[in-house]
Each structure stands twice: as C-alpha cells, then as structure tokens.
Amino acid sequence: MQFTIRQIASLIGAEIEGDDTQPIHMLAKIQDAKPGQISFLSNPKYENFIYDSKASAVIVSKNFEPKEKVPATLLRVEDPYNSFTILLEEYHKFISFQRSGIESPSFIGENSKTGDRIYRGAFSYIGKNVTIGNDVKIYPNCFIGDNVTIGDSTILHSGVKIYDGTRIGQFCVIHAGCVIGSDGFGFAPQEDGSYRTIPQMGHVIVGNHVDIGANTVIDCATMHGDATRIGNGVKLDNLIQIAHNVEIGDHTVIAAQTGISGSTKIGKGSTIAGQVGIAGHLVFGDKTRMAAKSGLIKSYPDGNIDLMGAPAMPIKDYLRAYAVFRKLPDLNARLKELEEKVVNLPTFDKRS
C-alpha cells in the first residue's frame, strides 16, 4: 500500500493541516507509529502520545485543540476512530486483492460457475451446480458441496467446509475451519433404547455482510425447504454452535463458544456474550443482551432486556442475588445466632 496523505484525506473526507505530500504505507497505533505511517487520536487519554509521535499523519477530531506543536500532519474529521476503521478496511482489501487466480491442483464439479476476479486456492474443492459470484476468494483446502451459492466479494478462509445446498450472501468473511450445513442433531428413540438418526434435509441461508469465526459450526435445518438462517450483518465469533433451524436476526453479535439449540430464534440487534448456552425452541426479541456464561431456558420474546445467570434472569436480579450468594456463610451464621437468641428469649403464655 502506498498513498500520499492527500489521497488518504480525500478518501476519508478530512481537512488537512500540514504537509500533504508524504507517502503513507502502513497504519499503526499512535504510540508505536513510525515515519510513513498514519495513526489516529480518539480517546483523550492517549493525547500525550501525539506530541512525540513519529507518525507522518494523525487523524484527529475536528474539535481537537493541541496544547503543544504536533510534528505530524493532522487530518481533521468528525469521528477519528471511524475514519481510521475505513482506512483499515481499505488496507485489508488491498492485502486480500493480492490473492487471485486459480492455483493448481484445485477441483470444480460439473455445471459450476464462478465469477470474475476469483481466487481458488490449491486443494480447494467445488462440487456440482455451484454458483459463485465475482471477487470471491476461496482459500486452499476449502470444501464446497453441491448446489451451493456464494455471493460477490465473500471470502472463505482455508479449510472451510460448506455442505450441499448452503446459500451464502455477499461480502461475508468465513474464517478457517468453519463448518456450515452439517447435519442437525436429531434422533428418534427406539423401543430397544437405541436411536435412529433423523436425516437432516434442510439447508443454511447466510445473509450479506456476515462474519463467521474460526471453527464455528452451523447445522442445516431438519426438513427439506426449511433453513437455519443467519441474518444480514450478523457477527459470529470462534467455536460457536448454531443448531438446526435456528434463526438469528440482522446485526446480532455473538461471542466465542456460545451454543444455540435447535429452532431457537434470536431477534435483531442482539448481543450475546461468550460461552452462553441457549435451550431449544425459545424466542428472544430484538436487542436482547445476554451476559457471558448465561444459560437460557425460557423465552423473552419482548426483547430489549439484559439477562444473566444459569438459568438466566434479568441481570439486575441476578447480580443482586449473587451479591447475597457471596455472603451466604455470613447469612447462615446470622440466622443461627438469631435462632439461639430467640430460643433464649423467655416464653410467655399469651393467655397469662
């Protein structure tokens, strides 16, 4: 990457204060930046770094008033953090565009079509009747089953496995080792104590702008025609389990190692922390927030609520109960003392 400060200012719509001709080839934190790098100042507690920073340019707020002379060129914007994020994205695109073409050997089945500017890494496998959009990057050792659809500009990192019939939208990033479309966990108990596996014939539909973390698993729906659905803009962390027929609303964020059981629905804009477990067939409304390690066994369909505990309850109730839990030995002692006091009190016959 090599841009001038002027080019970058134009990209993020910044006002320039200082020399705008120097080249920028990297982004860095303000305390680490070197000449040729650009940084940003958003949190006031890092302000001191700006006066010594070796960065060639620093993105700052429109209202920033330096207390001393700043050696770097200043780029003034509304929201420095957001502007820096835009640059990070540009940088990332630039890096990822370095991968293109078809490495050999790779495999593609009958009647499968791929778009323009695609990357197909060595040892990647594309089944039959697959449709893949433009600018898609398929890293080495990926497996894409039959009848899969993948939208434009989606990236599949190495070793991703996509079962037959899965549909993935545009601008998604699927991290290494993810499995999408594996069989749901369904078994019919038999009279002899054994189980008959219920074949899972549905599929998975992943929206646009979805990120899925490494080694996360999303099972397919049970019945033909049904789908496990991941809404637009959903962000899933690593090692998450999404069971069959689950539906996750748009722009919901879920942290690592959380598991959601079959047929549960999560509303839009929800936030689920790490290692949460959610039972099956529940419904949670929009903007539901679950604290780490919560265990959900009942629905909260109205949404806009903070939940915690296992079994979970509203977070305030949990924290108040847990505060007393910590003092239980003391509480027990107080109760005992009281019991003794009361026993030692004289008894009166009320009738007397």
Residues serving a catalytic function are 244
Site for a second copy in 299-338 (CB under 8 A): 310-311, 313, 317, 320-329, 331-332, 334-335, 338
Q: What gap in Å lies between CA 115 and CA 119, rounded to an integer? A: 10
Kindly state the smallest distance separating residue 31's Cβ from a second copy, in Å: 10
Q: Is 241 in the site for a second copy (CB under 8 A)?
A: yes
Choice between 66 and 100, CB closer to a second copy:
100
- 83 contributes a contact to a second copy by CB under 8 A: no
- Name the residue nearer to a second copy (CB basis): 133 or 277: 277
The single residue listed with the structure tokens 């134009």 is 10
Give the sign of the dihedral formed by CA 138, CA 142, CA 146, CA 147.
negative
User: Strands 217-219 and 179-182: what pairing?
Assistant: parallel
Q: How many CA atoms lie within 13 A of 228 on its CB side?
A: 32
Minimum distance between the CB of residue 65 and a second copy, rounded to whole angstroms? 25
Binding status of residue 187 toward a second copy by CB under 8 A: yes
**Which of the residues 127 through 166 are near a second copy (CB under 8 A)?**
139-141, 143, 145, 157-159, 161, 163
With beta carbons less than 8 A apart as the criterion, state whether 88 and 112 touch: no
Q: Is 179 in the site for a second copy (CB under 8 A)?
A: yes
102 binds a second copy per the rule CB under 8 A: no
Closest CA to 252 of 217, 224, 210, 190: 210
Distance of alpha carbon 194 from alpha carbon 43, whole angstroms: 60
Among positions 59-78, residues that touch a second copy (CB under 8 A) are: none
Residues 17-56 that bind a second copy (CB under 8 A): 26-29, 32
Under 8 Å between Cβ of 216 and 178: yes
Indicate which single residue of 50, 58, 119, 121 sits in contact with a second copy (rule: CB under 8 A): 121
Token pair, residue 212, equals: 């899925």
Per CB under 8 A, 279 contacts a second copy: yes
- Shortest distance in whole angstroms from residue 69 CB to a second copy: 26
Instruction: Cite the DSSP H helix spans in the chain.
Output: 5-12, 47-50, 80-96, 315-326, 328-344
How many chain residues touch a second copy (CB under 8 A)?
111
